[in-house]
Amino acid sequence: MVKLTKRYRAAQEAADLGKEYTVEEAVDVLGKMPKAKFDETVEISIKLLVDPRKGDEMVRGTVMLPHGSGKSVKVLAFTSDPESAKSAGAAEAGLEDMISKIQDGWMDFDVAVATPDAMKEVRKIARVLGPKGLMPNPKAGTVSPNIEDAIKEVMAGRVEFKLDKGANLGVGVGKRSFSSDQLVENVRALIEAIGKARPQNFKGRYIRSASVSATMTPGIKIAGSEYSQY
């Protein structure tokens, strides 16, 4: 606890945590905060004013981060052509054999993709994959007839965002080892993607608040002027 307290105090010295900053300023402030001994993930937290209990107000989508997420991603491909999937970068690929492994408790992957014709079989394990957020979904770009491209996009930095029950989104947009320009561009790409995912019939203010933080830092508020257009 002492280390966390010292870190938090140092963070307070680097920024006024009650103030709102432009994206560039927020990233600059984050860079001045004490760093951990590992390469921390930089995350954007966004609070929306929609009601996720209403089906037509659920917000979900994907975004290609210009500079990737900095995360090494293990992709599992559900397909009848495992060799092509592995050539595209999938760590594991197959269909009945992969489903059997998952039914036996194997879960050593970060993202699952599937061809449309494989989904009939994959639905057998929906109760296993769904609660963990690993079920392939067309809206997330993880169900595709061109599974090779889907694999490459995931590995190149395509990330998914999905609203939780409290109307919150938390998405990793890079690492602290990224340059300020890289982080700024990734943050702006995410905000724009969430803005474009605004429910069609939703009226009024859409984004309530946004902040940027790293794994071991407090959140830095992003000014409303950065997302008010959405």
Q: What mean pLDDT is predicted for residues 114-122? A: 97
In the structure, what pLDDT confidence band is assigned to residue 139 with cuts at 50, 70 and 90? confident
Question: How high is the pLDDT of residue 225?
Answer: 95
Segments of 8-49 assigned E as strands: 20-21, 41-48
- pLDDT tens track for 48-62: 999 999 989 999 888
> What is the rounded (10 degree) CA torsion for 191, 196, 201, 203?
40
Q: What mean pLDDT is predicted for residues 176-188? A: 97
Residue 7 CB-half CA count within 13 A: 14
Q: What mean pLDDT is predicted for residues 109-130? A: 96
Q: Which among 143, 158, 159, 140 has a CA at the least distance from the CA of 78?
A: 143
CA 33, 159, 121, 53 dihedral sign is positive
Q: Is 126 left (phi over 0), alpha (psi -120 to 50) or beta?
A: alpha
- Annotated domain spans of the chain: 15-69+159-226, 75-155
Look at domain 75-155 and name its CATH class: alpha beta
- 2, pLDDT greater than 50: no
Q: What mean pLDDT is predicted for residues 169-179? A: 96
On whether the pTM is more than 0.95, the answer is no
Architecture of the structural domain at 15-69+159-226: 2-Layer Sandwich (3.30)
Question: How high is the pLDDT of residue 56?
Answer: 92
User: At 5, which amino acid appears?
Assistant: T
- 37, pLDDT greater than 80: yes
- pLDDT tens track for 206-215: 999 999 999 9
- 1, pLDDT greater than 80: no
Q: What mean pLDDT is predicted for residues 96-107? A: 96
The whole-angstrom separation of Cα 114 and Cα 41 is 28
Find which of 14-18, 22-26, 50-54, 139-143 is predicted with most confidence, using mean pLDDT: 22-26
For residue 84, what is the enclosing H or E element? helix 82-87
- 18, pLDDT greater than 60: yes
User: What is the three-class DSSP state of 77?
Assistant: strand
Q: Supply the mean pLDDT for the chain.
A: 92
217 burial type by CB count under 10 A (0-12 exposed, 13-18 middle, 19+ buried): buried
